[in-house]
Amino acid sequence: MKDSANKRISLTAITAILIVVIAVLAGIGLWVLYNKSQQLAHFVATLSMLDKGNQIVEHLSDQAAVTEEEGKENWGQFARLVNSLYTVENGLQYVSVTKSNAVVFLQQRQLLGGNENGIVVAGNKNEVALSRRVLNVGTSAVPVLVFSSKHPAADGGMQVVEVALRKDMVENNEKDVIDAVSIIFKISLFTVVTSFGACLILVVWMMRREAVNEERRRKEEHLTFAGVMASGIVHDFRNPMSSLRLDVQMLSRAAVKKEGVRTERVQELATRICDIIERMDKVFQEFMYISKPGTTDREELVVVQDCLRETVDVLAPRLELSGIKIEFDFTVNPLLVRGHESALHRAFLNVITNAVQFSEEGAEVFVTVEEHKGSVVIDVMDRGPGIPESEHANIFEMFVSTRPGGTGLGLFLARMAIERCGGSIAVFDRDGGGADFRILLPKQQK
């Protein structure tokens, strides 16, 4: 019982640990997804900034102030356009136009450093060079990305349009996305923790409840088993006790006869009484075995014909009193089965007793034994009222009886004993009326 409790506790602990592990794995998965989402948001924001800088520098490069010849530039319109860009794009730091290495337009905050290693971004019309610079805004150093687009000037030189955007525009662009992802992550994590926590509590509670129910069922089964054991002992002792009582009564009458005591008769009755007591002891030992599950009992080879004759000898007093005769029809050669002899005695005794109880006074009960397809077939046939076909399937169940006053244990115990020996039992209607109980047992060789 202690081992069973430990197994239940271990199973509960294993289940709880498994749920916790799954919850942790789910949390780790959410955390990895959260980090990947942040990286993706940063990547998308960076691409958005590069695309925006590329579009601005190309748009400015297409303005008349840049593309027309000297003296025709409309720098006022160009300046207003740049101011509008400053209004729209808070990250815009400066815009400059250089022609033949001379700065012709510049709107900026203070410049602190020069460009570093740059890259080229493919634009729609011209190549746009990208470089990093640092602007000094007040006392702060602000890193920027500079987008440069070169165009041939009318005088044969080169003109360059530069647009500088703050690098922190990437952080500003990705902030809203990362905040949304963080909220989703927190909600998902709370949902996972709550769900798995509730699942863990529910599973542990259900397993503990099942353990309590299992313990209650086990106790009920023990009580039922104890009741069946008690009823079985009473049932299996009643038949030999009845025979023993009759033999003792006949022995008593034989001892006080006026014409003298017949030694042969007294010896016969005394021997029969000893045999009955010995078989009662075997029945008791059988119940002792059944009451200790897990123990083993040695099987042995049993001659079916001899076992049946010994069983009928136990019923001799009852048969003598009622005038019922047992007719045997055995094969010539002994048929062997492997099993528990005491169990077979109990089975045969209960089946034959059942046939005798349903037979009228002076009737005959036929017992046949034959071999068929590797099995020993025993038929016990009577001429009683028979058993309704609707009861054929459950007549061998516990507490089922068609006889008034019957306990419903005889045939049940017979079935249990026969199945213990590897056999089976069934009932059929006998031609001309009555019942035929057929027992099949595996045949064994010597």
Give the confidence band of 295 by pLDDT, cuts at 50, 70, 90.
Answer: very low
- pLDDT tens per residue, range 129-160: 878 877 776 677 778 888 888 877 666 667 78
pLDDT, position 437: 94
pLDDT at 311 over 60: yes
Residues of the chain with CATH 3.30.565.10: 297-444
Tell which CATH classification among 3.30.565.10, 1.10.150.130, 3.30.70.1150, 3.40.190.10 matches the domain 297-444. 3.30.565.10
pLDDT, position 376: 92
Which of 80-84, 218-222, 441-445 reaches the highest mean pLDDT? 441-445
Give the confidence band of 234 by pLDDT, cuts at 50, 70, 90.
Answer: low
- C-alpha torsion angle, residues 293, 299, 303, 306 (rounded to 10): -50
pLDDT at 35 over 90: no
Pick the more confident residue, 428 or 295. Answer: 428
Angle between helix 341-357 and 410-420 (nearest 10): 150
pLDDT at 368 over 90: yes
Exposed e or buried b per residue across 13-29, where buried means at least 16 C-beta atoms within 10 angstroms of its C-beta = eeeeeebeeebeebeee
pLDDT at 40 over 60: yes
Mean pLDDT calculated for residue range 62-91: 73
Give the confidence band of 220 by pLDDT, cuts at 50, 70, 90.
Answer: confident
Q: What is the pTM of this model?
A: 0.44
- pLDDT tens per residue, range 109-120: 544 444 444 443
Cα gap 171→133, rounded to integer Å: 18
Mean pLDDT calculated for residue range 62-67: 75
> What is the pLDDT of the chain when averaged over all its residues?
77
Cα gap 40→42, rounded to integer Å: 5
Across 259-263, 293-297, 325-329, 420-424, least confident range: 293-297
